[in-house]
Amino acid sequence: MESVEKRPTIKDVAAMAGVAKSTVSRYLNGKPVQEDSARRIRQAIAHYHYEANVFARLSAKQSNIIGIILPGFDSTVTPRVLTAMDKYLRTKDYTPLIINTEGDLELEVRSIGNLARMRVDGIIVVSTYLTAAHRQAVRDVQTPVVFMGQEFSDGISVLEDNLSAGEELGRYVAGRGLRAVGLLWVTEEDVAVGQRRREGVMRGLAAGGVTDVRVYQADFTYQTAYTVARQVLQQPDRPQILMCATDRIAYGAYKAVRELGLRVPQDISLTGFGGYDTNELLTPPLTSIRFDSETEACVCADTVLKMFRGEPVSKTQLIGYRFLEGGSVL
């Protein structure tokens, strides 16, 4: 009769198999063990339904845990990223440990240190802004850190090719003959989106001969996008198109457009960035750019594992994208 109280430990398995705890440990970690011992350990493990306690490996060289630091769960791409990372890590026998910072940069920085002290094998930071404190934190730890979404001049990062993507979209818009362009954008503090992506769009537009570009400041929320778009659309000299920094921002613009009784694209064209699955539900579907977040997630995970193993990795890796033509541009 097994106890319902206590779960089996390595000691129980060792006792039943008639070997030392260390031998069980070795077996568990794929180190050479005599076939005879291995067999008995296997049996004992099966008998107890033993599974090692991942957190008791205080003195291990390898924890098989990767820390993932996120600014929040409610971004549209986060679930996609998390799912892909989780799946990839699991196939490599790794367990992800997720820390949600809710956009608290200070907590983000502290979490790097925390995870390092937990002896995780690597850290992936899904990042929005990089500060001096981030650089310092990375320098202070010996744990490999990969930044996703923002370029990290002092270290390793994986991010979208915002410049090229922006340029392609800009060229497309210019090519459709639109001349008065408005950008519904986010702060320049966000280097990847606020600067690089915008720069790409500008270049593409310029290449197509478009020079009349006004930039309207919004943020990443639906609500602000809606509010700002509403104001812009009511101006007598409103632009012919609102190019939005993200799809979510474009959603806010759709709402404003509909409320004002305007039509997309006859009265106002719209573009986004992100390629959310819900875009095709909009009428008309939103023209956008889709980044391959799944690949990005896997590349991050792969890179951090390589770093842990001491293998060489590229300093910066850019992820590709796909242009998605909807019907939201005249």
Partner DNA sequence: CTGAAAGCGCTTACAG
Site residues, a second copy (CB under 8 A): 4-5, 7, 49, 51, 53-56, 58, 72-74, 78-80, 82-83, 86-87, 96-98, 100, 102, 110, 113-114, 116-118, 139-142, 222, 251, 254-255, 258, 277-278, 280-283
Single out the residue of 182, 260, 251 nearest to residue 223, CA to CA. Answer: 251
As a whole number of angstroms, the distance between CA 244 and CA 55 comes to: 45
- By C-beta, is 73 or 295 nearer to a second copy? 73
Q: Contact letters (x/-) for DNA, 7-26, by CB under 7 A?
A: --xxx------xxxxxx-xx
Angle between helices 78-91 and 293-308 (to 10 degrees): 40
The entry of DNA, a second copy, none that residue 224 binds, CB within 5 to 8 Å by partner kind? none
Min dist CB 57 to a second copy, Å, is 9
The entry of DNA, a second copy, none that residue 25 binds, CB within 5 to 8 Å by partner kind? DNA
Single out the residue of 110, 99, 112 nearest to residue 71, CA to CA. Answer: 99
- 48-107: contacts with DNA (CB under 7 A): 52-53, 56-62
Min dist CB 313 to DNA, Å, is 23
Please state, in angstroms and as integers, the Cα–Cα distance from residue 32 to each residue in 19, 25, 60, following that order: 14, 11, 17
At position 116, the amino acid (one-letter code) is A
- By C-beta, is 63 or 287 nearer to DNA? 63
Min dist CB 121 to DNA, Å, is 11
Other beta carbons less than 10 A from residue 76's beta carbon? 16
As a whole number of angstroms, the distance between CA 144 and CA 263 comes to: 50
Classify each residue of 143-171 as buried b or exposed e, where b means 16 or more C-beta atoms within 10 Å of its C-beta.
bbbbbbbbbbeebbbbbbbbbbbbbbbbb
Both tokens assigned to 258: 């509909």
* Contact call for residues 200 and 161 (beta carbons, < 8 A): no
- 271-300: contacts with DNA (CB under 7 A): none
The entry of DNA, a second copy, none that residue 126 binds, CB within 5 to 8 Å by partner kind? none
Binding-site ranges for DNA (CB under 7 A) = 6, 9-11, 18-23, 25-26, 28-29, 32-34, 36-37, 52-53, 56-62
